[in-house]
Amino acid sequence: MSVKGGSGTIMAANQNNLPFETTENMSLTEFAVMDEVDFTVVTIKGKEKAIRVRKLKCLVTLEDTMEKKVEDTAGKDKWKPVAPVEELLPQRTVVFEDISTAQHAGTVIKAVLKVSDKKQEQGLLEASVGGTQKQLSFEAADILTDATMFDGDKVHFNISTNRETKEERAVNVEILSETFEESTEQRRTVRSCLACGT
C-alpha cells in the first residue's frame, strides 16, 4: 500500500495498483505505507476501485494470501474474496469468505453494540432471501451505521459465505433511514459516546 494526500494505491495478489480514497478508511488509525488491509473492490465507470478499506490486525504477506484455484461456481464473478479482520490468525493461515454484491433487507432480532468489550458477542437478524426465510448472525465489526442498534431495526446487508464451511452471515449491516423515522427512542452515535467518555 502507498498513500499520498487523500488517495493511495493497494497492491494485492490478484489486483495491481488498485486506487482508493483515504475517506474510505474504516480503521480508527491513519494508513501508513506497507499496511496490510482488507477491502472491497467495486467497478466505477469501467475502472476498479477499493472501498471500505480497513487495516488488518495480523501480518499477512502477498504470498500468504495467494489462494488455491477453486472450481468455478455459478455467479462467481459477482463475489469478492476477503480476509477476516476480527481475529488474529496463526501464521500462514488464510480464511476466505465470499461476499455477495446483492443487498438484502431484514429486521434485527438481537442487537449488538458497535463498541463491545465482548469480542464473541453476535447479533442476529431475520430476512427473506430468495424466497427463503433466514436468520443470519453478525458481529459488531459488521455494522456500518454509527447509531445505536435496537431489536426491531430495519436493516440492509450483504451475505458473506465461508468457502470451506459454507456458513452464511450478515456483513455491511446498515440501519435503514425508515427505522429512525418510525422509532421514538433516542439514539446515540458511537462517535459521541467515545467523545463523552460513556
| pLDDT of 167 | 92
* Dihedrals phi, psi of 86, to nearest 5 degrees: -90, -20
Grid cell listed for 82: 476477503
Grid cell listed for 175: 440501519
* Number of separate helices (H) and strands (E) present in the chain: 2, 12
Q: What is the model's pTM? A: 0.46
pLDDT digits (tens, 9 = 90+) for 133-157: 999 999 888 888 877 888 999 999 9
| pLDDT of 168 | 94
Q: What share of the chain is helix, strand, coil (3-state, %, to 5)?
A: 10, 40, 50
CA distance 187 to 197: 16
| pLDDT of 183 | 53
56, amino acid identity: L
| pLDDT of 190 | 40
Residues 144, 169, 9: CA angle, nearest 5 degrees: 50
Give yes or no for a contact between 54 and 37, defined as CB atoms under 8 angstroms apart. yes
| pLDDT of 3 | 73
| pLDDT of 123 | 92
Q: Which parts of the chain register pLDDT below 50? A: 60-74, 83-85, 186-198
Please report the domains of the chain, with CATH numbers, ordered by start residue.
Answer: 1-58 (2.40.50.140), 95-198 (2.40.50.140)
pLDDT digits (tens, 9 = 90+) for 91-116: 555 657 888 899 999 999 998 877 65
| pLDDT of 1 | 62
* Dihedrals phi, psi of 78, to nearest 5 degrees: -95, 5
Write down the residue that cell numbers 454509527 correspond to: 146
> Is residue 59 classed as helix, strand or coil in its secondary structure?
coil
Dihedral class, residue 62 (left if φ above 0, else alpha if ψ from -120 to 50, else beta): alpha
Q: What is the distance in angstroms between the CA of the first residue and the CA of the last residue of the chain? A: 35
CA distance 122 to 141: 10
